[in-house]
Amino acid sequence: MTRKQHWLLMGTLLAAAATAPLAQAQAPAARTDVLNLQASASTEVARDMLSLTFSTTREGKEAAGVQTELKQALEAALVEARKVAKPGQVEVQAGGFSVYPRYGQPKISSANAAPQITGWQGSVELVVKGRDMETISRLTSRIQTLSIAGVSYGLSREAREKAEETVVADAITNYKTKAGLYAKQFGYRGFQIGEVSVNADGGASEMAAAAPRFKAMATASSDMALPVESGKTLVTVSVSGNVVMTR
C-alpha cells in the first residue's frame, strides 16, 4: 500500500467514525401513540351444501378381475347419479380408484424368500354434492352397488359471501368503538385509522357420522332416503390493524 492509499483509507475510517454517532442520534424513537387492535363480528348460518361419499371394496385372485368389478360397480352408480345431476345443485364426481396386491408368506421357508402376492384388493369412490339436499339424500336408496362412506355438510360460496356482507359493517363498527375506548383509556381524545386488514372465516364443512349399514335398509324400501340435518355454522369477519391516538 502506498502512502497516498494509506491516508485515503485512514480518512475514510475517520469519516465513518464521525458520522456513526450522528446516525444513531437521528434514529427515530419508538412511537407510543400507535395502538394495535383487533375486532370481529359473527353470525350463524344454516349449512346449505350436502356431500355424500359412496364407496365399495372388492377382492380377488387377479388384479384385472378386481378392477373390472370395481368399474362395473362405479358405472352402475354413475348411471343413477347422472339422472339427477344439475349444475350448481347436484354435482357428480368419481373419487379414488385403487387396486393393490395382498402379500403372504412363501410356501417354501427361506431367509431370503420374498413375500408372495396371494391376491388383490381395491376400492372405488363416488362423490355427490350440491345444494339440493333432498335429491342427493334420495340417491342413497337408488345406488345399490356402493355404500355410504361419508357424509358432510358445508356452506356454499354464495351463502358465505351473503353472510359476510351482513356482519362486515358490525366488525368495522366494533373496531372503531374499541379504538375510541382504548384511546380515551390512554389519555387521548381521539384516533386516526392506520393500516387495516379485513378477513372472513367460517362455513367449513362438518363431517357427520357415516352410515355403512344404511344400504341394507335401503334395499327394503326404494323410497327411503338418508335423513338430512345440516345444522348451522358460524361465519366471522375480523378487522385487525393499528390506529394513531390523537390529543
Domain edges within the chain: 48-155+205-231
Measure the CA–CA gap between 131 and 154, rounded to whole angstroms: 9
Work out the burial of residue 201: count CB atoms within 10 Å of its CB; fewer than 13 is exposed, 13-18 middle, 19 or more buried.
Answer: middle
* 146-167 CB burial, b ≥16 within 10 A, e <16: bbbbbbbbbbeeebbeebbeeb
Enter the C-alpha cell of residue 37: 387492535
- 76's enclosing H/E stretch is helix 63-83
| pLDDT tens series, the chain, 247 aa | 565 555 555 555 555 555 555 445 556 677 788 999 999 999 999 999 999 999 999 999 999 999 999 999 999 999 999 999 999 899 999 989 999 999 887 666 666 667 888 999 999 999 999 999 999 999 999 999 999 999 999 999 999 999 999 999 999 999 999 999 999 999 999 999 999 999 998 767 666 654 444 443 444 344 567 888 889 999 999 999 999 999 9
Reported pTM: 0.71
- In angstroms, rounded to a whole number, what is the distance separating the alpha carbons of residues 141 and 134? 12
The pLDDT score that the predictor gives to residue 107 is: 65
CA distance 225 to 52: 12
Whole-number Å distance between alpha carbons of 111 and 224: 56
Residue 203 C-alpha cell reads as 362455513
Match 356402493 to its residue by C-alpha cell.
146
Q: Which fold has domain 48-155+205-231?
A: Alpha-Beta Plaits (3.30.70)
